[in-house]
Amino acid sequence: MLTIREYKKVQSLEEAWELNQKRANRVIGGMMWMRLGDSNFQTAIDLSGLGLDTIEETEDEFRIGCMVTLRQLETHPGFVSYTQNMCKESLRHIVGVQFRNLATVGGSIYGRYGFSDVLTLLIGLDSYVELYKGGIVPLREFAKGKPDNDILVQIIIKKHPVAMYYEAVRITQTDLPVLTCCGVHDKENGTYTISIGARPSRAVIVPDEKQLLKEKLTTNAIEAYAKYAAEVVPTDSNMRGSREYRSHLVEVLSRRALEQLCEEESKAC
């Protein structure tokens, strides 16, 4: 059971940060994950009065406030169009619409959950987190770190001309995923990025040390990269799947993502 002694709707980020320095206090997002825990908090720090529940789109970037809900992200016309519906594809399996109306992007990213579709999607893009004290940090770096007492203010996504692909494997609809995969083709600099999550650990970018994706994508290069991905992405077993099954999925989903991206760009490939 979750027990909270006091509730504070803060008036500023400074107030939130000061309260959050006490170990017994906790920032609350949508509380959808937190409420499942068996914890005892002194003060719940509510950021909902700080206007951090909007998605701002400019020519160069998206700024997604930490209190933006997953449903807002999933239905934002600009973000849906930018990701070619892949934000919808990645989020639609998360429990249900009512749930996604409450769960926040800030809580999802701050939590750095191993199973996270949200992290797998965003880490593949040119994305950053803005921390109140820690400043702007690439999401790829933030995702590797340990939770601390800072406040995640917003997520910034720099716009590039991209093509995207997203796929998650689930045993049943709305369950946590067995494996997640996001592919991004940055048409500006010609790079391909594959992120894999639910390994079951946190999402990672598959490195391209052999430079297989640098040249024009060929069937052989895709095959070789997918096999290489299965070798280098660490996987493990849990109740949803074995290590071997997950590594097999890494290969299949990486290949499929690259094939789809290549098909999109068929004239260029």
Work out the number of other CB atoms within 10 angstroms of the CB of residue 159. 16
The two tokens of residue 150 are 């800072």
Counting every residue written for the chain, the total comes to: 269
Q: How far is the CB of 198 from ligand FAD (least distance, A)?
A: 8
Rule CB under 6 A: say whether 95 interacts with ligand FAD: yes
Q: Under rule CB under 6 A, how many of the chain's residues touch ligand FAD?
A: 32
- Residues in 166-185 at the binding interface with ligand FAD, rule: CB under 6 A: 176-177
The three-state secondary structure class of 166 is: strand
β-pairing verdict for 40-46 and 26-28: parallel
DSSP 8-state class, residue 71: H
Residue of 25, 72, 104, 254 that binds ligand FAD (CB under 6 A): 104
Rule CB under 6 A: say whether 239 interacts with ligand FAD: no
> How far is Cα 76 from Cα 95, in angstroms, rounded to an integer?
19
Nearest residue (CB) to ligand FAD, 94 versus 184? 94
Helix, strand, coil shares, percent, the chain, to 5: 30, 25, 40
Rule CB under 6 A: say whether 250 interacts with ligand FAD: no
Only one of the segments 80-88, 105-113, 215-223, 238-246 lies at the binding site for ligand FAD (rule: CB under 6 A); that segment is 105-113
The letter for the amino acid at 69 is T
Residue of 53, 74, 89, 117 that binds ligand FAD (CB under 6 A): 117
Nearest residue (CB) to ligand FAD, 110 versus 225? 110
The three-state secondary structure class of 123 is: helix
Interacting residue ranges for ligand FAD, rule: CB under 6 A: 26-34, 36, 47, 66, 70, 93-95, 103-104, 106-108, 110-111, 113, 115-118, 151-152, 176-177
